[in-house]
Amino acid sequence: MKTPVFTGLATAIVTPFGEGGVNYPKLAEIIEFQINGGVDAIVACGTTGESSTQSLEEHIEVVDFCVRRVAGRVKVIAGAGSNDTQAAALLSREAEKSGADALLHVTPYYNKTTQRGLVAHFTHIADSVSIPVILYNVPSRTAMTISAGTYAELSRHPNINGVKEASGNIPLVAAVISACGDDLYVWSGNDDETVALMALGAKGLISTSANVIPAQMTELTHLCLDGDYAGAARLLYKYLDLMEKLFIEVNPIPVKTAMNLMGMDVGELRLPLCGMAPDNLEKLKAAMRAAGLLPEGIT
């Protein structure tokens, strides 16, 4: 039996960029906004943090900064995934040196692999460190899915703690929770599926929407932890349109746009990500306005 890295809410935070690279004073503000919102953990350098356009050095520095700024107040989970197993292991070791509480590892993308290759890839990484590893299943980005059998095999590794499940395959999640129990924990990787997955036994959510509504998403996950799924569902319905519009274009384009509209000044996106199409921007603004997030004077 393993202990979950966290229960409740982890926010996959954006990385604020400026002309000279990462805007660390702004990153500190983002971290404080999340902690003040009551989150249980912060994920640095995940998909939402635009890790794919960070150099190895920059990636390592961002994780190190987050660990030092958080200073043990909540858990820090370091995104360390790569389609290069050796690079993933390197990022993992560096994150452990910095004091990260756990690692987040996406399935290899572009070159992909087989299920046997997934076992070898994740086992090599988990053998390289002594902190927990959370797998990340997001076939919409990687074009591959972790099978139930692979989950079961990986659950036997003492350092593999669980998975961020963003496949949208609820029967797969149910099968994994049923088969693996306390040997492999599940966290929702899709904000709008949180209540459903937690009702099945997931331990919480790794969220994008929490970048703009951390307190609300914290409340939602904790209602689920308390068994109040009806109350959690009501809160989900209240913000469902906002969650949808935060993914109207590829993440993190909408959420960074939303944060800038809120006056958080998180900077630009790095190419190949770019600004929103005008019609989608208006839809995002409408959802933010309905949720009470759009400041007065912004039309």
Tokens 């389609």 locate to: 83
Of 11, 16, 42, 35, nearest to 259 by C-alpha is 16
Of 63, 55, 71, 147, nearest to 104 by C-alpha is 63
Q: What DSSP state is assigned to residue 156? A: T
> pLDDT tens per residue, the chain (299 residues)?
899 999 999 999 999 999 889 999 999 999 999 999 999 999 999 999 999 999 999 999 999 999 999 999 999 999 999 999 999 999 999 999 999 999 999 999 999 999 999 999 999 999 999 999 999 999 999 999 999 999 999 999 999 999 999 999 999 999 999 999 999 999 999 999 999 999 999 999 999 999 999 999 999 999 999 999 999 999 999 999 999 999 999 999 999 999 999 999 999 999 999 999 999 999 999 999 999 999 987 87
* Residue in 26, 75, 164, 203 annotated catalytic: 164
Q: What is the pLDDT of residue 1?
A: 84
Q: Based on the residue annotation, tell me whether 164 is a catalytic residue of this protein.
A: yes
CB 156 within 8 A of CB 123: no
Domains of the chain, first to last: 8-226 (3.20.20.70)
Q: Based on the residue annotation, tell me whether 110 is a catalytic residue of this protein.
A: no
DSSP H helices, the chain, are 24-36, 56-70, 85-98, 115-127, 139-142, 148-154, 170-180, 194-200, 214-225, 229-245, 253-261, 278-290
* Residue in 75, 136, 185, 285 annotated catalytic: 136
Q: Distance (Å, rounded) from C-alpha 46 to C-alpha 61?
A: 14
Handedness of CA 93, 84, 154, 196 (dihedral sign): positive
